[in-house]
Structure 1
Amino acid sequence: MGRLNDGKWEDVWYDTKSSGGRFERSTTKFHSWITADGSAGPSGEGGFPAESGRYHLYVSYACPWAHRTLIFRELKGLHEHIGVSVVHPEMLSDGWEFRTDFDGATGDRLYGLPFMRDIYTKADPQISGRVTVPVLWDKVRKTIVSNESAEIIRMFNSAFDGLTGNRDDYWPEDLRDGIEEVNARIYDTVNNGVYKSGFATTQAAYEEAVHPLFESLDWLENRLADNRYLMGERITEADWRLFTTLIRFDAVYHGHFKCNRRKLIEYPNLWGYTRELYQWPRVAGTVHLDHISHHYHYSHETVNPHRIVPVGPDLDLDAPHGRDRLKAAA
């Protein structure tokens, strides 16, 4: 994984000794916002107006956080306005790389740089911290607007509406309090919970994470028994934030991260829900299970030292999802 320290690269894994074996996620560094007129957003500085062709998205197809931004780029019709560069799925001693010897890895389409860390030091030559994706880059100011996925998807949700005419709203004002509450539990116990389970280095830290994970999956299974989506009849950002973890669950988290009390396919409501979201227009094209499986199993030497990439599971994501019954019942 590695990190930058005053602009210099260090190949160091997460320190779990000082945290009792617990994985603790690093915070993101860049928190400015694209807005319709370039005014300042909720954090960071202003000066990033919504303009076609100005911004570029750096992602990994394997990363669930980056996957959120790719989904919103499609949902909001931004694929013609915001370009994308995709890193190689292997994240080894140099961190994310722009190699192109894996189907779908594009290289750095803006500058031809070899490593994702070079984008960070281009924005700030003295930066310290983890080099993560996604990164939303401003080609005019030659800097990072944001590397926080939760904020990027909210920018995509509304900032470009005047340009695209797409006013689909996945963060509707009347549901925001409920969305925030659901997001908080899902982030802590599910989105990040699989990582806290998989990267734990003590039995106690693992069990501290894995039990709340499955308690939340049981809660979600029950919630989706009578609700088509997490907030009822309307699909929101909460659904898409959950989806990027669910779509990886049986392929990666169940085995590789020891989240194996139950497979996702053993939850009828969650499994049907996952298939419905996968079959949503333009979403399936953002899912790259080859990148997902290869990245996790090949990159995490501390978890899988022989770097053997498994061949399965064989998931039928195109099977009828059966969620229409809830809409009919409503």
Structure 2
Amino acid sequence: MYHGGLSHTHSHHIIMSKSGEGNVSWNKDVKEGRYERKDSLFRRWIEADPDAEFPAEAGRYVIYAAMACPWACRTLAMRELKGLTEVIEVNIVDVVLPDTGWTLEAKDEGATGDTINGRKQVSEIYYAADPEYDGRFTVPILYDKVNDTIVNNESSEIIVMLNSAFNALSATPEAAALDLYPAELRDEIDEVNERVYHSLNNGVYKCGFAKTQEAYEEAFHALNDTLEWMEDRLASSRYLVGSRFTLADIRAFVTLIRYDPVYVTHFKTNKHRIRELPNLWAYTREIYQMADGKIASTVNFDHIIRHYYCSHNSVNPTGIYALGPDPADLLKPHNRDSLPADPLPIVHDP
């Protein structure tokens, strides 16, 4: 049985190693007023090799995800783009995250429950994989039905697996050919991801969960420096790494799409709204609209808004949630066609 840790070495250029929403109070992750996300512990890999410990196979793997969670929705977006919706099943957790961890009781519209084993708590999946597990009960989980175990719970690694390991099973040749982590751009993608992870993806949490004014201001300034850096970069670049849409854009998008509805008010990240930054706002709209709505299908504003405002009692003790802004403006023309872009080899589903 697997007890955490990396089973063997891979050549992938993975820098980040923290992911997901967790169990019990996030206050335990605050040190000297600063929020510090814990490392993910299950770090095995699915490979195209049929003789691998975890070979890519249709119907064998399940992603447990929260529609509210940006880390989990990275994996859902990649599953859509790579034409894997008939290959990898998805189970969606309930909206509100109690102190005991995510639940699988199909309480909400769009929540599925556990269709594999009928478990009611995400923690049960972790304990089945490792009875001595002592970490966070986070999503996403990449789960192996054959061995009733967790392959990986680190979103940044799961999206790399989805990018290439299942190519032989993609729904179309175009989806199989789609490469969002090309070898020639990996160093630059990783460099962008390093900054975006620390100050934006996790930076919003550092603002929202800060326990001192000093910690909040430190995270707030780093966050806004990065937003302004991205705004400047996108003035002359279609995507974060030039003309090629990559994993860096997927990782940025899941935070940007939640920024105005949640983070500006709930996490006090209110220097800018994304809608006030013309390049970032157009970039967000373009990604939301691309690929025949495949990425948009992984965005559920009801789950997003209710989860954050109703799960973090110390941040929002009343549980009252904001209703704006109107998501319909995400469908307005993005007008970024004047910047060069490499065409995505994505076609309509067969």
TM normalised by structure 2 equals: 0.87
Q: Which ranges of structure 2 fall in alignment gaps of 5 or more residues?
A: 1-21, 342-350
Where in structure 2 are the equivalents of 1:102-121 lying within 5 Å?
102-121=108-127
Q: How many equivalent pairs are there?
A: 313
Where in structure 2 are the equivalents of 1:145-184 lying within 5 Å?
145-164=151-170, 165=173, 166-184=176-194
Whole-angstrom CA distance in 2 between matches of 1:189 and 1:107: 33
1:323 maps onto 2:336 in alignment: yes
CA contact (8 A) 2:313 2:319 kept: yes
Name the residue aligned to 1:35: 47
Q: Which ranges of structure 1 fall in alignment gaps of 5 or more residues?
A: 1-8, 40-45
**2:80 counterpart SS class:** helix
TM normalised by structure 1 equals: 0.92
Whole-angstrom CA distance in 2 between matches of 1:265 and 1:145: 38
CA distances 1:138-197 after superposition (whole Å, capped 9, x unpaired) = 011111000000000000000011222412100001101101100000000000000000
Q: CA deviation at 1:262?
A: 1.1
**2:310 counterpart SS class:** helix
Q: CA deviation at 1:57?
A: 0.4
Name the residue aligned to 1:50: 56
1:205 maps onto 2:223 in alignment: no
The one-letter code of the counterpart of 1:150 is S
Name the residue aligned to 2:100: 94
1:241 maps onto 2:264 in alignment: no
The one-letter code of the counterpart of 2:185 is L
Q: CA deviation at 1:94?
A: 2.3
Name the residue aligned to 2:73: 67
Whole-angstrom CA distance in 2 between matches of 1:209 and 1:163: 42
1:314 maps onto 2:299 in alignment: no
Structure 1 residues 111 and 31: CA distance shift in structure 2, 3 A:
same
> In terms of mean alpha carbon deviation, does 46-55 or 30-39 score higher?
30-39
**1:325 counterpart SS class:** coil
Structure 1 residues 141 and 252: CA distance shift in structure 2, 3 A:
same
1:285 maps onto 2:285 in alignment: no
Q: CA deviation at 1:38?
A: 4.9
1:122 maps onto 2:122 in alignment: no
Whole-angstrom CA distance in 1 between matches of 2:241 and 2:127: 40
CA contact (8 A) 2:23 2:136 kept: no
Q: CA deviation at 1:90?
A: 0.3
Structure 1 residues 269 and 291: CA distance shift in structure 2, 3 A:
same
Whole-angstrom CA distance in 2 between matches of 1:254 and 1:93: 24
CA contact (8 A) 1:59 1:86 kept: yes
> In terms of mean alpha carbon deviation, does 289-298 or 99-108 score higher?
99-108
The one-letter code of the counterpart of 2:46 is I
Whole-angstrom CA distance in 2 between matches of 1:16 and 1:31: 21
Q: CA deviation at 1:101?
A: 2.3
CA contact (8 A) 1:16 1:201 kept: no
% same residue: 53
